[in-house]
């Protein structure tokens, strides 16, 4: 009897100790790790690109002002591998983060971790729950230790029924570790997850929790045939129904925060020009990302955002955080043997001037 009492007292103490160790930052604090404002994806492969893109974003931000600025930069770090018990960052990640942090009005820089889950080295389904959690913890430790990075963006594709259970286990644990003072002692970091507008679901938003958000690919929505461009009018119709769907899904979870990814440079279905790799004389003409004189994708997208999110685009408590700009790319977007152009947000003539006065604006943004 006494022995059992001592035993259960001991058990209680162990339980209390565990609870104390794993006490997370409160949701009110964690939610502040989420960046508000416009964002961009950057995939630099050398210092020259870091310098060039820093100069372009600086020029834009100084002209656009704090509310229309590109405030959040997602920088490619590495692909995920399931054997990474001691993961490392990409060689350029921290150098890029250090450079980009000095851009006026850039408030957050995050590391991108990509993977195609169908690849054997990245198939999370082959890991047990405890191994998935250990993999998440190893990544949390690496990125929490960085003073230059504010968080991580995961691009683990496809987010489909085949991989959902293991992806959600990984996402939930990583987001939670980013809220754990024992891991992130300098304060919580954010976790964002790249996903399609029809794939994002309440389970994903709930796994991301208060310090997480979805970065939603509102491009590559449809094409009139394999390899062919979507017209700006088709894009507009598709975008509208997709954003409406996303808003209703996000509203179904406690936090449900999202950034809207738009094609400021070429994607698979929205592009200005496609050039055959084997025969450069073979060209498919698409539509400009921006034009003042003919239908183009970004003005079409902004019109849809005005119609769907306009009222809430200026609310500080909104679930809509801003737009994410695809992209600053070093590699080509290759589709069915064709190279899609333009490769960079500011390659399109007139784009910067247009954005300086038309980029979605957050009326009240936290620093």
Ligand X SMILES: *[C@@H]1O[C@H](CO)[C@@H](O)[C@H](O)[C@H]1NC(C)=O
The site for ligand X (CB under 6 A) is made up of 66, 104-105, 202, 247-249, 252, 299, 302-303, 306, 308-312, 358, 367
- For residues 292 and 296, what is the distance between their CA atoms, to the nearest angstrom? 8
Instruction: Please identify, using beta-carbon distances, which residue of 15 and 62 lies nearer to ligand X.
Output: 62
Q: How far is the CB of 353 from ligand X (least distance, A)?
A: 15
Instruction: Please identify, using beta-carbon distances, which residue of 128 and 252 lies nearer to ligand X.
Output: 252
Instruction: Please identify, using beta-carbon distances, which residue of 70 and 268 lies nearer to ligand X.
Output: 70
- For residues 72 and 154, what is the distance between their CA atoms, to the nearest angstrom? 15
Instruction: Please identify, using beta-carbon distances, which residue of 247 and 275 lies nearer to ligand X.
Output: 247
Instruction: Please identify, using beta-carbon distances, which residue of 90 and 322 lies nearer to ligand X.
Output: 322
Q: How far is the CB of 202 from ligand X (least distance, A)?
A: 5
Q: How far is the CB of 111 from ligand X (least distance, A)?
A: 22
Q: How far is the CB of 59 from ligand X (least distance, A)?
A: 12
Instruction: Please identify, using beta-carbon distances, which residue of 244 and 276 lies nearer to ligand X.
Output: 244
């Amino acid at each position: 009897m006494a022995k059992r009492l001592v035993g259960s007292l001991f058990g209680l103490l162990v339980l209390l100790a565990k609870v104390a160790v794993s006490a997370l930052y409160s949701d009110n604090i964690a939610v502040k790790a989420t960046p508000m404002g416009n964002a961009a994806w950057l995939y630099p492969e050398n210092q020259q690109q870091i310098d060039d893109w820093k100069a372009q974003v600086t020029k834009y931000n100084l002209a656009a002002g704090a509310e229309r600025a590109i405030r959040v930069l997602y920088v490619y770090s590495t692909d995920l591998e399931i054997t990474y018990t001691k993961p490392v960052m990409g060689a350029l990640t921290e150098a890029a983060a250090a450079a980009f942090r000095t851009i006026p009005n850039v408030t957050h820089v995050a590391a991108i971790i990509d993977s195609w889950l169908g690849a054997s080295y990245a198939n999370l389904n082959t890991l047990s729950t405890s191994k998935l959690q250990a993999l998440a913890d190893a990544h949390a430790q690496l990125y929490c230790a960085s003073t230059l990075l504010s968080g991580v963006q995961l691009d683990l594709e496809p987010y489909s029924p085949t991989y959902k259970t293991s992806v959600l286990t990984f996402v939930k644990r990583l987001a939670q570790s980013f809220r754990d003072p024992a891991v992130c002692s300098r304060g919580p970091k954010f976790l964002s997850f790249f996903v399609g507008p029809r794939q994002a679901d309440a389970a994903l938003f709930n796994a991301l929790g208060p310090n997480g958000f979805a970065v939603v690919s509102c491009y590559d929505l449809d094409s009139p045939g394999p390899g062919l461009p979507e017209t700006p009018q088709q894009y507009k119709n598709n975008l509208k129904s997709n954003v409406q769907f996303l808003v209703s899904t996000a509203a179904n979870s406690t936090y449900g925060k999202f950034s809207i990814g738009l094609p400021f440079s070429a994607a698979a279905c929205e592009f200005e020009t496609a050039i055959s790799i084997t025969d450069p004389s073979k060209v498919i003409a698409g539509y400009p990302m921006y034009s003042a004189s003919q239908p183009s994708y970004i003005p079409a997208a902004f019109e849809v955002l005005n119609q769907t999110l306009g009222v809430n685009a200026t609310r500080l408590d909104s679930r809509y955080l801003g737009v994410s700009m695809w992209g600053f790319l070093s590699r080509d977007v290759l589709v069915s043997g064709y190279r899609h152009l333009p490769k960079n947000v500011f390659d399109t003539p007139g784009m910067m001037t247009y954005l300086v006065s038309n980029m979605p604006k957050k009326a009240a943004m936290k620093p």
